[in-house]
Amino acid sequence: MSSFYLNNLTDYNTAYEASVKNTEQFWDAIAKKNFLWKKRWSRVLEYDFSVPKIKWFEGAELNITENCIDRHLENNADKTAIIFEPNDPSSESEYITYKELQGRVNKFANVLKSKGVNKGDRVCIYLPMIPELAVSVLACARIGAIHSVVFAGFSSTALATRINDCDCKIVITSDGSYRGAKTIDLKGIVDEALESCPNVNSVLVAKRIHSNINMANGRDEWLEPLLNDASESCDATVMNAEDPLFILYTSGSTGKPKGMVHTTAGYMVYTAHTFKNIFQYQEDDVYWCTADIGWITGHSYIVYGPLLNGATTVMFEGVPNYPNYGRFWDIVQKHNINQFYTAPTAIRALAKQGDDFVNPYDLSSLKVLGTVGEPINDEAWHWYSTTIGKNKCPIVDTWWQTETGGILISPIPNCFSGKPTYATLPFVGIQPALMDENGNEILNTKAEGRLCIKFPWPSIARTIWGDHKRYKDTYFSAFANCYFTGDGALRDENGHYRITGRVDDVVIVSGHNLGTAPIEDAINEHRNIAESAIVGFPHDIKGNALYGFVTLKSESSESEIEVIKSEINALISKKIGPIAKLDKIQITKGLPKTRSGKIMRRILRKIAHKDTGNLGDISTLLNPDVVQSIIDNSLNK
């Protein structure tokens, strides 16, 4: 564990400089030191962003599961690899050791083989957060099959689109799932999806809620008896460094979802190294990331990153508010969590409930707190730091994307600390740049622009499944020889980055470029505001004006609301300037969100533009009902 640990600012500065000066040599040393290879690479990096073509560790042979599991058995066979915390707090937690994990993964891999799954075949996994999800992901990797995990909150249409796009012939699912006090009929959703997936000929079903489900003859089989009969040993298939490991879909601003393809060796090296350093994971720590494995955060920082480091990683099946809003803190106390990683949306939702749900619990095990997924506003950052971290835990505001595979910009606790709302500095090997409207790099340290990355890192996605042209157009065409992130950022005088949000979140009001995130940030400090989203709408004089959608922490009377509205604009005037005042403020009972908790500003923008005829596909939203109520109460009818 000690090798290549960044322990102080000098470590970071030295490593960063080396990583930029001679990137290949830098990653070569890390890859040599920390992993199990069947064959070494002949070349560290070959790339050309104009094609685009990116290859890391070419010529190397390996299997990532030997690195996640087998190589820990010598010293840590009985160490807990995965703690499964079930939805129902009165059910037993499950502790899966590295040795047991090996047996379960191998059995699962043998079942897949018996179903005719070969190296390179795509396997769709549509499972709730139960151990079978991690096990099936690793089982695919064991035999070189490409896993395509679809978040089990997605609808049958979304599932069918993803199954067909990468032509999966097999689906792994469960009879159902628990979600707080509810159960969800997952198998029913799969059945519906498969009506439009003619190539799927096998469905393996894990038993979770013991519901009475339909099993299609010749197609559907229960997993349990198959696993019971399977052998516990399964040779790891030898993979080339650039063989695909998985596909994960991410929605674009237009068109169908993009199947981002991640490959084996580079992804392994980068997720392992970022996990170890950013979370400062120490032997015997217990780490918990609350994401779902259906998102990239779960792939990289529940499964691969932690297991590559021989860590103990928690998988939580439930939701933050069941049986009540103290559940997260109950789990932190129960398992003595040392590193806790969640999303701003969860932090805001929990902060809104007040500290009474936090105070009964002993959170003294916590050492590092992480956040990911959206810009974290000042208010939420402070609540997290004070109420959860008791002002003694560094916060790692980790900026990255499905496409980047791992964290690119983040504080590193022992090296430099965070600053509210700033993701701070690039990780070693990462070369960010800010671009101006004309496509030129802004060289001043203090600047604001579009965020690009100038040089490849090992875990960058290599293509979009079946559409390399779209990969090129989306990421490598806006700026020459750079990866364009789609995000805007500002850089302070110390070179620290603050991500301001997707660049389409910029509104030009009377000729002033206003990022909506800092305005949201300003008003979220209001004592009665839970969340807000600000978008532009056309205005005769200003060109555009600002429309704020705001949810309150508590019910308020009409007269109170009038006061709040004027306080909102007073706050904005004070923090940003009168130019950023909102023309319209609509109090809503919720904001439309993606399943991973990102506010869907695209929909609010349409509402503000009176363009609600075609809202696009809102079926994958967390809360589609809220959309109609926002439309009904819109101030722009």
List residues binding ligand 7RM (CB under 6 A): 250, 296-297, 372-375, 397-402, 423, 485-487, 499, 501-502, 596
Helical segments of 445-557, H only? 468-475, 516-523
Q: How far is the CB of 231 from ligand 7RM (least distance, A)?
A: 37
Which helix H or strand E contains 339, and what residues bound it?
Answer: strand 339-342
Residue closer to ligand 7RM, measured from CB, 337 or 423 = 423
Nearer to ligand 7RM, 131 or 429 (CB): 429
Name the residue among 311, 338, 329, 430 with its Cα closest to residue 393.
338
- Residue 88's φ and ψ, nearest 5 degrees, are -90, 115
Tokens standing for residue 252: 């674009």
- Closest distance to ligand 7RM from the beta carbon of 598 (Å): 6
Given the complex with ligand 7RM, which of 65 and 485 has the nearer CB atom?
485
CA geometry: angle at 606 spanning 603 and 609, to 5°?
A: 155
Residue with smaller CB distance to ligand 7RM, 272 or 423: 423
Of 100 and 505, which CB lies nearer to ligand 7RM in the complex structure? 505
CB 515, min distance to ligand 7RM, A: 12
When the beta carbons of 310 and 486 are compared against ligand 7RM, the nearer one is 486
> Is the backbone of residue 577 left (phi > 0), alpha (psi -120 to 50) or beta?
left
Cis omega (within 30 of 0) for bond into 244: no
Residue 292 CB, nearest approach to ligand 7RM (Å): 11
Whether residue 410 contacts residue 396, with contact meaning beta carbons closer than 8 Å, is answered with yes
Within 10 A of 623 (CB to CB), how many other CB atoms are there?
A: 15
Cis peptide before 323 (omega within 30 of 0): yes
Going by C-beta distance under 8 Å and a sequence separation of 6 or more, which residues neighbour residue 165?
249, 256, 257, 259, 465, 466
Nearest approach in angstroms of CB 398 to ligand 7RM is 5
CB 490 within 8 A of CB 447: yes
Least spacing, CB of residue 297 vs ligand 7RM, in Å? 5
Burial (CB count within 10 angstroms: exposed 0-12, middle 13-18, buried 19+), residue 216 = exposed
Q: Is the CB of 365 or the CB of 623 nearer to ligand 7RM?
A: 623
Distance CA 537, CA 545 (A): 6
CB of 498 to ligand 7RM, least distance (A): 8
Q: Which is nearer to ligand 7RM, 305 or 486 (CB)?
A: 486
CB of 408 to ligand 7RM, least distance (A): 10
Q: Which is nearer to ligand 7RM, 402 or 586 (CB)?
A: 402
Contact 468, 461 (CB under 8 A): no
Minimum distance between the CB of residue 595 and ligand 7RM, rounded to whole angstroms?
A: 10
Choice between 288 and 399, CB closer to ligand 7RM: 399
CA angle 136, 139, 143 (to 5 degrees): 145
Residue number, 486 or 515, with CB nearest to ligand 7RM: 486
User: Which residues neighbour 330 within 8 Å (Cβ) at sequence distance 6 or greater?
Assistant: 89, 361
CB of 374 to ligand 7RM, least distance (A): 5
Helix, strand or coil, per DSSP, at residue 451: strand
Of 125, 120, 117, 171, give the one whose Cα is nearest residue 148.
125
Taking the least distance from each CB to ligand 7RM, the nearer of 230 and 343 is 343
CB of 622 to ligand 7RM, least distance (A): 14
For ligand 7RM, the closer of residues 41 and 399 by Cβ is 399
- Is residue 127 within 8 Å of 136, Cβ to Cβ? yes
**Backbone angles phi and psi of 64, in degrees to 5:** -65, -30
Nearer to ligand 7RM, 110 or 596 (CB): 596
- In terms of Cβ atoms closer than 10 Å to its own Cβ (0-12, 13-18, 19+), residue 516 is buried
C-alpha to C-alpha distance for 250 and 1, rounded to whole angstroms: 33
Residues 6+ apart with CB under 8 A from 64: 141, 239, 245, 264, 267, 268, 304, 308
Tokens 């969640």 correspond to 342
CB of 396 to ligand 7RM, least distance (A): 9
Smallest separation, CB 375 to ligand 7RM (Å)? 4
Provide CB contacts within 8 A for 570, sequence distance 6+: none
Nearer to ligand 7RM, 160 or 376 (CB): 376
Q: Give least dist CB 340 to ligand 7RM, A.
A: 15
Decide the pairing of beta strands 170-174 and 202-206. parallel
Cβ-based nearer residue to ligand 7RM, 84 or 422: 422
Place of tokens 């956040």: 371
| Residue 524 to residue 5: CA distance in whole angstroms | 37
3-class DSSP assignment, residue 599: strand
Closest CA to 149 of 138, 185, 105, 288: 138
Question: In the complex, what is the shortest distance from the CB of residue 295 to ligand 7RM, in angstroms, rounded to a whole number?
Answer: 6
Instruction: Output the smallest distance, CB 51 to ligand 7RM, in A.
Output: 23
Tokens of 591: 């904001």
